[in-house]
Structure 1
Amino acid sequence: MKLYISATGITRLAASRGGAGGVFRRMKSSKRRLSHRTIRLLAGLLLPFLFVRSALLLLESAALCSSPIASGCLTWRFFGGSDAALEIYMIFSLCLQLSALIMPKKLREELMRALLEATDGGGVGTVDGSNSEPVSFKDLVKDMSLNRQDLKAFAFKTKSMIAKMEHIVKTAQWHESMYWHLAAHSVPKGLHCLSLEMAEEYAVNAAARSRFPLPQYILRLTDPSFHHVVLLTDNILAASVVISSTLKTSSNPDKLVFHVVTDKKTYTSMHAWFSVNTVDSVVVEVKGLHQYDWPHEVNVAVKEMLEIHHQIGNHNFRSLKENLEYGNGNHHKLDVFSPSSISLLNHLRIYLPELFPDLNKVVFLDHDVVVQRDISSLWDLNLNQKAVAAVVDSWCGTDCCPGRKYNDYFNFTNPIISSLLDKNRCGWLYGVNVFDLQRWRNSNITAVYHQWLKLSLNSGFELWHPGVLPPALLAFENHVHAIDPSWHIAGLGHRYPRLDEHMLETAAVVHFSGPAKPWLEIGSSEVRDLWTRHINSSNHHIRKCGIAS
């Protein structure tokens, strides 16, 4: 709505010398009366619409935040409230209070009465499905002008219109967030091309099939004096970036030994890549799951674990689907779409002692990390008789971990969880971990993990939110040694990562945890540069698949 004030008819008075004082007094009085009437008119017209526009701003600002887990959410709220109806009521009430000196008492009381009547019975938030209400601010103004309705009708129509808009925004916000999570499952054309290229290389090039590491380096694979790094991944490019960034920042790269575990489908491509892209004196071992010869009881336990995880995923998906059309689902349940929740390799990290029976201490790195600082001192850490070292607190201080409280992982309405855990406790991070495999073998960590999986199965899968970490938090209870937060900065894979430049520059490892992996195009280009700079753009296969561009 645009309000125009015309200057037509306003007479310019020229004061004469003799009568200047009288004319000036008349002009001053006239201007004062005109200003007073104008202010009243403007207040009567604009204050109701200020209420509507404020409500619309609240709804529009909500659309900027597609998920509450997005740490850089740009939403804002008046008065720090959480209920839209209460906030709108307070805004309108403030407008009326500010207009107390310039608005007639009768009009002010009528506006307040209409507002109270409209907000009785729950205020904004009820959608009756009727199509008679205006659908936009412009339509509301037009409807009020044509039908000459009173303030009570205005208040009720405004309430209904805002309720509909709020419902539309929430539903669209929910759908958009769901589609964004689904995009994390996509395989970019360049990565698919690279996998096929390396599979072909394995088939036609004898060098790509050659055994590595070289015979003179074989003993390093189990030598405890070397620094052993473990990756579980089926992503060739991601593994390459992790290894490349670790070598570039290491003060003693010759002491590093990388163990890459992949699935049978990716094994030939992964093997070919590291066969033809060797680095002198750097030991890389690539092993497929099909090459392990585990005891029968381990195979049975792994199969049982994967079956329960599969059932958990199906249950969460059905639950999400039921609430999808109404937009009232829990955003934590969107993690059911996360590839990490259904990845075989991600779940197998609980079997690291069985994967590496000849090793006692390893550093585990997720495939979506970038190493920015020498991590050699991690192998010298004293774990104080704990099985794992991990970041617990964030940069903001002790017991400060936004989005990582136990309440964000577990369902505290369940009596089993609420009786055992503190919902305000911080959960530790997967992604950069030091594992004492010998102490792990001497504990019951893996057995406790399986016990919790079975308990989740028997309780209807209502103990925790989707994800790999919750059951691990339970299994490693009292087995975690906290390390300095500067070792590991996580969350770069969320929609709006709130990270300052100093944190990114000083962190030893940055982790693209979240749906927006750096090899996808759904994340922030600013943080993706931290990852893409480690891609070897001169590599023939990288150029051929268009990854460098």
Structure 2
Amino acid sequence: MKSHAAVVPTAKQRRWKWLALAVLLLVFFSMLVPLAFLLGLHSGFPVGYSSDESSPTDSLEVYERKGGGKEINSSKYDSRVEQMLRNFTPSLPQEIVQDITGKDDMKIKTSDPNEDNEQTTSGSMGDLNHSEYRVMTPVLKGLHNSPADASNADPVLDKQQGGIGIPDGSNLYGSHKSCQLEFGSYCLWSMEHKEAMEDGTVKKLKDQLFVARAYYPSIAKLQGQENLSREMKQNIQEHERMLSEAISDADLPPIVAKVIQKMDQTIAKAKGCAVECSNVERKLRQILDLTEDETHFHRKQSAFLYHLGVQTMPKSLHCLSMRLTVEYFRDPPSDMELSHAYKFDNPSFHHYVIFSRDILAVSVTVNSTIKSSKITADMVFHIITDRQNFYAMKLWFARNSYEEAIIQVLNIEDLNLSNGNELAQKQVSSSEEFRVSIRSTDPLHLLQMKTHYLSTFGHSHFLLPEIFQNLKKVIVLDDDVIVQQDLSDLWNVDLEGKVNGAVSFCELRLVHLKAFLGRNLHDDSCLWMSGLNIIDLEKWREQNLTAIYQKFLHSFHNGSEASWRTAVLPASLLAFQGLVFPITRLSIISGLGHKYGISEETIRNAFVLHYNGNMKPWLDLGIPAYKAYWRKFLTQGERFMDECNVHH
């Protein structure tokens, strides 16, 4: 009995011992799971702030092995916090940023327009194959190269938009794509025309109010901080009252400086209290999201209005065209062209061809070429336009004198061109301009994109051999070109059997575009630019270049108007492949319609100035520093220009 009685308590003790151990393990794991979730061990997320926009592939490594244990990689974590605070910088005062980061060197890095539009992209390495497409009049976005080899570029033609694909813009921290790639030259224009804020103090008050509202709920819950809570509430109410009556700094009362200082002191006290960071973070994140959405909306709206202004004819130029047209039918001028008709198809003269629908632009190009020439008696200009502008241009060149040069104005719709030529059935098209962005091939700058502006022939240029059947050679000028020196020597240039004497653009090469062109090209030759081109029409006819161009054109457009215009670039490059002679003897400066920072000495010594880009000199959006070189060739004393308020 004794031995039996001794065994029973031992078994009970063992059962209770295991039960207690199980309870302890359960309690331990119930505490461990929330702790692991709080520390982010389940997904590797960093402790503290994390970006809602970042994807799992973008998250940073927070832990690393050191001596067999795990420690927080503080350098990576700090960089993540600093990047997030850069997003806060427009909304938060500088002292708040300094307080959180412990640093006072936080700056918003903006691109320098003087650095040839080089932009830092926002594409992560995992996003290189993800593309979106756009086309802008038809400024063409985005050829991108493989980071390892520029020859492995893989641009894609968008069948709906007619554009060329660019990588998606999200960078390692989930921010938007670079401004230049998304909004084009509007970004450059907006930086040039940035004005001083008239509501800087108002914005300061709003920032303080946002921060105070973020801290107030947590401060109000703390015991022993009733005075601070009451003080913060009073300051918030005072800020709200001021902001309800003020839009700009001029509306603020004289005591605003004291109010700001008082709120700074209150916020500093709140930062010294042990508050729940999650509440403050949640409020600031809401503010950040709202501010980013609002900023992006306004930038998109501003870029749209900018491009609308670029594409719309100014009221003064529309007035000029209409007044000249009405005057032509009211009092038709004598046809001076009849007395010089023998020169129009005589190959012994120097023939210049311009496709344009802009009276003011083409008149300045003609005027600059004539005034820069030593001999004008052998100069014949052929202006090819459409029916809408034909009569206005006829009257303009009949009213104004251009020394001994002869001006012929042609309506492309009245020319006897081949019925089967689809190029003749379209309206007159001057040179087309494209914005092309390629990824850097430098291993140290894999995420950089560089944007270039190209101009190339329009569809109408490929009608040249049929329009001028008796001519052997012509010089083609764009209507956004200014000639500053005599071009007569160009007629003696030997093209060495080539068709097109053009300006080389070696920052982009044909091999870079082989994926977009859809052919296994190994041609490392430079691209070429329109603006000033020497065309050998005899060689053109021998090569049957127009038919070749039309063949390529059909393979690159899907029938839509956007793709019809965008297909000009690949079709032109392939049609002229191996037939371009680089003009190196002339200093031709391009980019005056989009590039800031070109020196005055460079412009003054150039033979030709090319205003390619959206910022044309006859528009209010034009770059002010370059307008003077264009304006000096405007016709002076013209009655219709004064009546239509065309600015000189």
CA distance in 2 between counterparts of 1:490 and 1:453 reads 27
Query: Aligned pair 1:57/2:169, yes or no?
Result: no
Q: Find the counterpart in structure 2 of residue 435 from structure 1.
A: 535
Question: What residue in structure 2 maps to residue 260 of structure 1?
Answer: 383
AA at the equivalent of 1:265: Q
> Helix, strand or coil for the counterpart of 1:253?
coil
**Is 2:343 the partner of 1:292?**
no
Aligned partner of 1:419 among 520, 526, 534: 520
TM-score norm. by structure 2 comes to 0.54
Q: 1:302 aligns with which of 402, 420, 424?
A: 424
- The 8 Å contact of residues 52 and 158 in structure 1, kept in 2 or not, is answered as no
- 1:384 Cα offset (Å): 1.1
Could you tell me which residue of structure 1 aligns to residue 310 of structure 2? 184
Max Rg structure = 2
1:402-417 matches, cutoff 5 A: 414=516, 417=518
2:324 match: 198
What residue number does 1:449 align with? 549
- Aligned amino acid, residue 382 of structure 2: H
Q: Which position in structure 2 is the counterpart of 1:365?
A: 477
Q: Aligned pair in 2 of structure 1 residues 47, 55: CA closer, same or farther (>3 Å)?
A: closer
Match of 1:516 among 601, 615, 620: 615
SS in structure 2 at match of 1:179: helix
Q: Is the 8 A contact 2:214 2:284 kept in 1?
A: no
Change (3 A) 1:459 1:291: closer
Q: Residue 642 of structure 2 aligns with which residue?
A: 543
Measured on the aligned residues, the alpha-carbon RMSD in Å equals: 4.3
Tell me the residue number matched to 1:479. 579
> Counterpart of 1:324?
none
Verify: 1:141 aligned to 2:265, yes or no.
Answer: no
Tell whether the 8 Å contact from 2:556 to 2:571 is kept in structure 1 after alignment.
no
Is the contact made by 1:332 and 1:466 (CA closer than 8 Å) also made in structure 2?
Answer: no
SS in 1 for 2:108: helix
Deviation at 1:122? 6.7
Q: Relative to 1, partners in 2 of residues 1:464 and 1:428: Cα closer, same or farther, differing over 3 Å?
A: farther
Do the aligned partners of residues 155 and 548 (structure 1) sit closer, same or farther apart at CA in structure 2, a change above 3 Å counting?
closer
CA offset digits 1:413-446 (Å, max 9, x no partner): 65x5363367x86421111100001101111322
Q: Structure 1: how far apart are the matches of 2:502 and 2:575?
A: 14
1 CA distance for matches of 2:122 and 2:380?
52
| Greater strand proportion | 2
* Partner secondary structure for residue 636 of structure 2: coil
Query: Residues 553 and 567 of structure 2 are in contact (CA less than 8 Å); yes or no, is this contact kept in structure 1?
Result: no
Aligned to 1:493: 593
**Does the CA contact (< 8 Å) of 1:417 and 1:463 recur in 2?**
no
Which residue number in structure 2 is paired with residue 100 of structure 1? none
Residue from 349, 368, 377 that aligns with 2:461? 349
The 1:81–1:52 alpha-carbon spacing in structure 2 relative to 1, beyond 3 Å, is farther
Question: Is the contact between residue 222 and residue 359 of structure 1 (CA under 8 Å) also seen in structure 2?
Answer: yes
Residue aligning to 1:466: 566
Q: Please say if residues 391 and 487 of structure 1, whose CA atoms lie closer than 8 Å, have aligned partners that are also in contact.
A: no
Q: Give the aligned length.
A: 407
Q: Which residue of structure 2 aligns with residue 211 of structure 1?
A: 335
Pair 1:283-2:406 in alignment: yes
Flag the 1:74–1:351 CA change in 2: closer, same or farther, 3 A.
closer
Q: Deviations over 1:332-364 (max 9, x none)?
A: 99x9xx9x99xxx94211211111111110100
1-side partners of 2:318 and 2:558: how far apart?
A: 40
CA distance in 1, matches of 2:123, 2:606: 38
Counterpart AA for 1:454: H
Task: Give 1:227 shift.
Answer: 1.2
Q: 2:623 is aligned with what amino acid?
A: S
Deviating more after overlay: 251-260 vs 147-156 = 147-156
In structure 2, distance between residues paired with 1:473 and 1:230: 21
- Check 1:532–1:280 CA distance in 2 against 1; reply closer, same or farther (3 A cut): closer
TM superposition shift of 1:240: 1.3
Q: In structure 1, the residue corresponding to 2:482 is in which secondary structure? A: strand
Q: How far apart, CA to CA, are the structure 1 residues paired with 2:398 and 2:640?
A: 14
The structure with the greater share of residues assigned to helix is 1
Whole-angstrom distance in 1 between the partners of 2:585 and 2:292: 39
- Aligned residue for 1:38? none
Instruction: Work out whether residues 376 and 405 of structure 2, in 8 Å CA contact, stay in contact via their aligned partners in 1.
Output: yes
Q: CA deviation at 1:72?
A: 5.5
Contact 1:390 1:433 in 2 (8 A): yes
**Partner SS state of residue 296, structure 1:** coil
Q: Does 1:390 align with 2:502?
A: yes
Where do 5+ consecutive residues of structure 2 fail to align?
1-94, 125-170, 177-204, 219-273, 434-448
1:504–1:469 distance in 2 versus 1, CA, 3 Å: farther
| Distance in 2 between residues matched to 1:156 and 1:418, nearest whole Å | 52
What CA distance in whole angstroms lies between the structure 1 residues aligned with 2:210 and 2:481? 52
Normalized against structure 1, the TM-score is what? 0.63
Preserved CA contact (<8 Å) 1:124 1:160: no
> Where does structure 1 lack aligned partners over 5 or more consecutive residues?
1-43, 85-120, 127-134, 314-329, 394-398
Give the deviation of 1:149 after TM superposition: 3.5
Judged with a 3 Å threshold, the aligned counterparts in structure 2 of structure 1 residues 45 and 351 are, in CA distance, closer, same or farther, namely: closer
Match of 1:27 in 2: none
Q: How far 1:143 sits from its partner (Å)? A: 4.6
Could you tell me how far 1:462 is from its partner in structure 2? 11
Decide whether aligned partners of structure 1 residues 188 and 172 sit closer, same or farther in structure 2, where only a CA change above 3 A counts: same
Match for 1:519: what amino acid?
W
SS in 1 for 2:591: coil
Shift of 1:264: 1.4
Alignment check: 8 A CA contact 1:230 1:365 kept:
yes
* Aligned residue runs from structure 1 range 167-178, under 5 A: 168-178=294-304
Shift of 1:271: 1.0
Does 155-164 or 458-467 show the bigger shift? 458-467
Between the aligned partners of 1:261 and 1:536, the Cα distance in structure 2 is: 20
Pair 1:440–1:136, CA change in 2 (3 A): farther
SS at match of 1:419: coil
| Alpha-carbon spacing, 1:235–1:473, altered in 2? closer, same or farther (3 Å) | same
